[in-house]
Amino acid sequence: MGAKSDIIEQAARMIDAAGKIVALTGAGISVESGIPDFRSPGGLWTRYDPVVYATFESFINDPSKFWEMAADLHPLLENAEPNPAHMALAELEKLGKCEAVITQNIDNLHQRAGSGQVLELHGTFRTGTCLGCRKQHTYEQIKESAFRGEIPRCVICGGVVKPDVVLFGEPLNASVLQRSNELASQCDLMLVIGCGLEVYPAASLPSYAKRGGARIIFVNIASTPYDPIADLILLGKAGEVMPAVVEAYKRIAEKEVKRFGRWKSKDN
């Protein structure tokens, strides 16, 4: 593991000390589940130019390009399993130490790991909406075409179905964004895991948290443009670092139970 044990301990103590904790996750947290991120070497954008394959404008002009890329991506998304980093966040929530996960990911892995409070900033690959009559389609209804790299057609009007993911140049869901901004500005600690922080408005959330007085922990295998605002940087793979942090936190919390006779919760 990259991050040293004293840094892991420091992160665990910050978790112990914090009341409201929020996680912000990006593509990096799912790399160990077999879903490549976009910008790392070998990432999706080295194979597909986002201007051609993933802008809202390009989708409207020629949806076949997006669905061509989806034939590559969807089998990975469907076969991926939550990894130890997703599980660690779900466990933190159960321990009362993660108010919500704000994710840029569309892969549904936080929910599958057991996190109950998940805000999907960029939507989900699990549903799609007809651009003609706005009927929402389930994954089962779009899956066959998606796997063949063909445009899924609306079961009602035959229109083009767009996945419910936010493409470049497309607005984010306003209520999800508002709630994410609130959570960021009101938390005491933000865990920023596997985020390149190059895509806005998600990239602004750590700064909102910082401005609201929160401490910030980054977990990443590489540096990001926002490293200077982090209070602690855990360099390493999320799937190795996060379980170690949660185990270290549990050891601290157990010692407190022995000392004070109760599990310290966010309310005390």
Q: Give me the active site residues, please.
A: 122
The answer to whether 135 touches 56, Cβ cutoff 8 Å, is no
Shorter beta-carbon distance to ligand NAD: residue 106 or 154? 106
Least distance (Å) between residue 259 CB and ligand NAD: 34
Q: How far is the CB of 51 from ligand NAD (least distance, A)?
A: 14
Residue 137's DSSP bridge partners are 128
CB 196 within 8 A of CB 234: no
Among 145, 224, 230, 234, binds ligand NAD (CB under 6 A): 224
User: Tokens standing for 252?
Assistant: 């601290």
Shortest separation between residue 148's beta carbon and ligand NAD, angstroms:
21
In contact, 25 and 195? CB cutoff 8 Å: yes
Residue 255 identity: K
Helix (H, G, I), strand (E, B) or coil at 236: coil
Among 26, 84, 152, 206, binds ligand NAD (CB under 6 A): 26
User: Which of the residues 234 through 253 are near ligand NAD (CB under 6 A)?
Assistant: 237-238
- Residue 181 CA to residue 96 CA, distance in Å, equals 21
Cβ contacts of residue 108 below 8 Å, gap of 6+?
77, 124, 125, 126
Examine residue 82 and say whether the peptide bond preceding it is cis (omega within 30 degrees of 0): no
How many positions of this chain bind ligand NAD (CB under 6 A)? 30
Q: Which stretch binds ligand NAD (CB under 6 A): 63-71, 87-95, 136-144, 213-221?
A: 213-221
Chain positions 41 to 80 lying near ligand NAD, rule: CB under 6 A, are: 43-44
Binding site for ligand NAD (CB under 6 A): 26-28, 30-32, 35, 37-40, 43-44, 104-107, 122, 194-196, 198-199, 219-222, 224, 237-238
